Structure 1
Amino acid sequence: MKKILLLGAAAVVLAACGNKPKIENETGKAGQNTEYTQYLDTLKADNNLKITMGKVPVTIVGKELKVGDKIREVPLVVNTKLEEKNIFEDKNIKVIYTAPSLDTKVCSLQTKQLNEAAKTHTNVKFYSVTVDTPFAQERFCTANEINGLKAVSDFKYHQFGIQNGFFIKEKGLLTRALMIVDENNNVKYIEYVSEEGKEADVDKALKFLENKLLKK
């Protein structure tokens, strides 16, 4: 049974990013208790988002996050000690990339792009949020020299995804999105990617950052 569950989890991430992951997602339905499954069943979409995974429609829980909204400050796991931190406490502009998993073809490419941008814009905080465990995130970041962008995890409770409109109900993953929030955590730019296997427009987001927020 354990082997079947692990294979199922791998298949989910494969469908999400179009390539076999090098690291395990280490989350998903395996090990979920009855109470948690029942809780997931109560979650509803309160948005008109049309998101697909492998061309199959999926449900994004909650409201769609839009420009002008204030992001909900949910603590995230920031290291392999499983320490939680509210990354929104500081007064920095933040670029936040949410994705199903770090180490897959699309996710890996975009994380590396944003990591390079973080080295240029040192006064801006860059984050990647997934439900990979911090151990998987650390392995990926070390192997790929990701040292400008900070990978943080929503694996414990999924509340960042659920409360901000990024949680995929059927898969237990975060949908692919790219957003920029200002010093007061107001959303200034956001893109939800309509198909999980496609890329967010990183160049467009960075141009917005440079022209609209950094040139004041």
Structure 2
Amino acid sequence: MSLSKIKVIAFDADDTLWVNETFFRKAEEEFCELLVEYMPVEKANKLLFEVEMQNLPIYGYGIKPFTLSLIEAAIKISNGNMTIDLVQKLIEKGKQMLEEPIELIDGIDKTLHTLSKKYRLVMATKGDLLDQERKLIKSGLENYFHHIEIVSDKTEMHYQKLVKHLDISENEFLMVGNSLKSDVLPVLNIGAHAFHIPFHTTWVHEMVDEKIEHPNFKSFAKATDLLEIL
């Protein structure tokens, strides 16, 4: 792998810069506990995921769409018999998630600080615009980034537009993220470079079973490992 032409390194945000998925898993567990009188935990969790997938093309990604899916799933699980008190609890759960303190991924501050001296850094993430902007400001990492890209989804088209906007060629672009589905595969498909740094918790929707063997791909255990080759 030749990295000598890399000019721009883009970083995913959730679970690459800061912890995110952990809060969703906790919320799902609490949701199932609240609805256990209507449906067993495993079945309720499966139904919630189905509702999320149905709503994804309509609402997109993020905590606010997740909260709407919690309420819709609760209505289905309870056959419309859920109380207003339960609705309020689910709304409060969403607000609580939005107000969670930012927990940076180990070593990410040092990694960004070092790489920003040599490369143009970009934050490229999907999700709710307001929430992602809020998290970036609270993280204290904002000044490391030359450009911020927050999109509804991460597809080959989105990455091609980003590369064009940055006025570089595909082989001058490197994406770093925790999701093989969103941060790696579409990037490799356009001829760019992609590095994978797994997070200990991955949303089922982002999981990929296939083994990736590509000359522009590498996987690392932690963020600071990037400094050994960049």
Q: For this structure pair, what is the TM-score category when the shorter chain's length is used for normalisation?
A: 0.3 to 0.5
Q: Which has the larger radius of gyration?
A: 2
TM-score by structure 1 length? 0.33
TM-score by structure 2 length? 0.32
More helix by share: 2
More strand by share: 1
